[in-house]
Amino acid sequence: MQNKLLIALSVVLVVGNLSAKVTFAQESSHCALGKTLKVATVQAGSYSDFQKVFLQTALALSKDGLIRSDLSPLTPDFNFDVGDNYLKFAKSTKGGCFEFLEDGFYDGKWDLKLIKQNTEALKKRIKEKGDVDLVWALGTVAGQDFADPSLNIPVMVMTCTDPENSGIIGPGEFSDKKNIHVQKEVDRYKSELQMFYDIFKFKNLGVIFDDNEENLLGQAYPIVKDLSRQLGFNLKICQGPVIDDDKEKAQLAFSKCAKELAKVSDAVYLPMGNGASDSDLFTQIKPLLDKEIPTFSQTGSKEVEMGVLLSLSNNNLEQSGIFEAEVAKKIYQGIAPEKISQYYYAPLSLSLNLQTALLIEWKPSFEVLIAVDQVFQNIKRPDLKYSEQAKLATLSQNSDLKVKLQTVSN
């Protein structure tokens, strides 16, 4: 009996060191470690990188036995925010060391009003109901809203573009906010834009940005602007609703901006957003290709496969997920988030589309070719009916949606 009391006391002491409130699992628990962290997930809206990091983090925790894998719906193409996938996933995690709350997914659908409502609702739930032990905050906007030490539970901010300039966290390897951990890709976006400039020495760089200031930070706007000053090139900025839950609206804005930037740019950088079509990006960027303008994708090789010239990216974000899973495990073990390193060095791959290079009459140098990790010989285009292609091709001409073009000179 005395030994049992000592064991119980030691468990209480370990749990007391956790910054999260830990809920002890019932007898039916599938967690060998005997306790459960209840997890809520929040995002401003759906985005491919959020889906990939969520999946890879969950898979890594499943392999380590911290998320139940016996009933898991996780597959290589699983998107947690599509249909009722999150609910299915949450149900499958019951009794595991990390248990995702069935009603714990807060999706803002890129709607400012809904994002604000979700933020208020989840914060109130954390502070008053107290049934959330850990938050996964996906992206820059969610990071800005939930990097809040007053919540007094661990918050993991995942896949945000520029956490320091966006005010999520201070500089340095370790968090300056209690209970907050942010993955930091050191100099990722600065490096890729520097490389793009070194290859083409452009004078006027076109960039497609969202027209919502909150989303600009997630598109690395401060980094792009700072580098333009350092290197002395002008920015030709086109803004429109290229991050929007209405994908047709976002794609229309993207198409219009591509057309406008083709008139004034000698290179174009394409930040993240859902305006780039996942069915026929080639049609959208054809005005740029017709003017023989080189393009660079911030998103990754999928867009290069569909016609963008270059990208430097962590394609499936598997290593990013493994990194986040290690952070989650340390939090589970009682290590304070602010004592866990935030530095992440992504295994980046340089992708090149040779058909695009041919279309813009660019011959890659030997130095570029030996640096390339992934080569696409052709531009991937869907087998669309003529009517669908015509609709995409004329989309920017048949709408009243406005985009804004401005120049930032250096």
**pLDDT tens for residues 10-66?**
333 333 333 334 443 334 577 877 889 999 999 999 988 899 999 999 999 999 999
Q: Which residue in 177, 181, 269, 264 sits closest to 221, CA to CA?
A: 269
279: containing domain: 202-313+348-408
Strand partners, 353: 376
> Rounded to an integer, what distance in angstroms lies between the CA atom of residue 40 and that of residue 368?
43
Categorize the per-residue pLDDT at 321 as very low, low, confident or very high, splitting at 50, 70 and 90. very high
Q: What region does 83 belong to: left with phi over 0, alpha with psi -120 to 50, or beta?
A: left
Whether residue 196 lies inside any domain: the answer is: no
Percentage of the chain beyond pLDDT 90 is 67
> Do 385 and 248 meet the contact criterion of CB atoms below 8 Å apart?
no
> Rounded to an integer, what distance in angstroms lies between the CA atom of residue 45 and that of residue 350?
28
DSSP code, position 115: H
CATH of the domain at 89: 3.40.50.2300
Same domain, 268 and 308: yes
> Rounded to an integer, what distance in angstroms lies between the CA atom of residue 89 and that of residue 104?
12
Sort 326 into a burial class: Cβ within 10 Å, 0-12 / 13-18 / 19+: middle
Whether residue 18 lies inside any domain: the answer is: yes
Same domain, 333 and 292: no
Longest dimension (CA), the chain: 81
> Rounded to an integer, what distance in angstroms lies between the CA atom of residue 207 and that of residue 25?
50
Whether residue 195 lies inside any domain: the answer is: no
Name the phi and psi angles at 352, rounded to 5.
Answer: -140, 135
> Rounded to an integer, what distance in angstroms lies between the CA atom of residue 388 and that of residue 392?
6
> Do 101 and 132 meet the contact criterion of CB atoms below 8 Å apart?
yes
Same domain, 239 and 138: no
Whether residue 9 lies inside any domain: the answer is: no
Same domain, 66 and 22: yes
> Rounded to an integer, what distance in angstroms lies between the CA atom of residue 158 and that of residue 149?
17
Residues 6 or more apart in contact with residue 63 via CB below 8 angstroms: 69
Same domain, 231 and 300: yes
> Do 139 and 160 meet the contact criterion of CB atoms below 8 Å apart?
yes
Same domain, 101 and 236: no
Same domain, 100 and 170: yes
pLDDT at 41: 98
Q: How many CB atoms lie within 10 A of CB 109?
A: 15
Pairing of strands 349-353, 310-313: antiparallel
> Rounded to an integer, what distance in angstroms lies between the CA atom of residue 312 and that of residue 295?
12
Q: How many CB atoms lie within 10 A of CB 318?
A: 17
Tell me which amino acid residue 246 is: D
Residues 6 or more apart in contact with residue 215 via CB below 8 angstroms: 44, 140, 141, 243, 273
pLDDT at 17: 38
Looking at 344, 360, 390, the residue that finishes a domain is 344
> Rounded to an integer, what distance in angstroms lies between the CA atom of residue 33 and that of residue 235?
54
Categorize the per-residue pLDDT at 383 as very low, low, confident or very high, splitting at 50, 70 and 90. low
Whether residue 217 lies inside any domain: the answer is: yes
The sign one gets for the Cα dihedral 216, 222, 228, 231 is negative
> Rounded to an integer, what distance in angstroms lies between the CA atom of residue 199 and that of residue 350?
13
Tokens of 191: 């490096």
Categorize the per-residue pLDDT at 361 as very low, low, confident or very high, splitting at 50, 70 and 90. very high
pLDDT at 337: 96
DSSP code, position 129: I
pLDDT single digits (tens) 197-250: 999 999 999 999 999 888 888 888 989 999 999 999 999 999 999 998 888 999
Whether residue 388 lies inside any domain: the answer is: yes
Same domain, 151 and 37: yes
pLDDT exceeds 50 at position 1: no
Categorize the per-residue pLDDT at 315 as very low, low, confident or very high, splitting at 50, 70 and 90. low
Same domain, 208 and 325: no
Same domain, 372 and 401: yes
> Rounded to an integer, what distance in angstroms lies between the CA atom of residue 343 and that of residue 323?
10
Tokens of 272: 């993240």
CA Rg value for the chain: 23
Mean pLDDT, the chain, rounded, equals 87
DSSP code, position 125: I
pLDDT at 336: 95
Same domain, 55 and 163: yes
Tokens of 154: 């661990």
Per the structure, the count of domains in the chain is 2
Q: How far is CA 40 from the centre of its chain?
A: 17
Same domain, 397 and 249: yes
Count each helix (H run) and each strand (E run) in the chain, helices first: 15, 16
- Kindly state the helix (H) or strand (E) to which residue 296 belongs, with its residue range: strand 295-297
pLDDT at 352: 96
> Rounded to an integer, what distance in angstroms lies between the CA atom of residue 349 and that of residue 108?
31
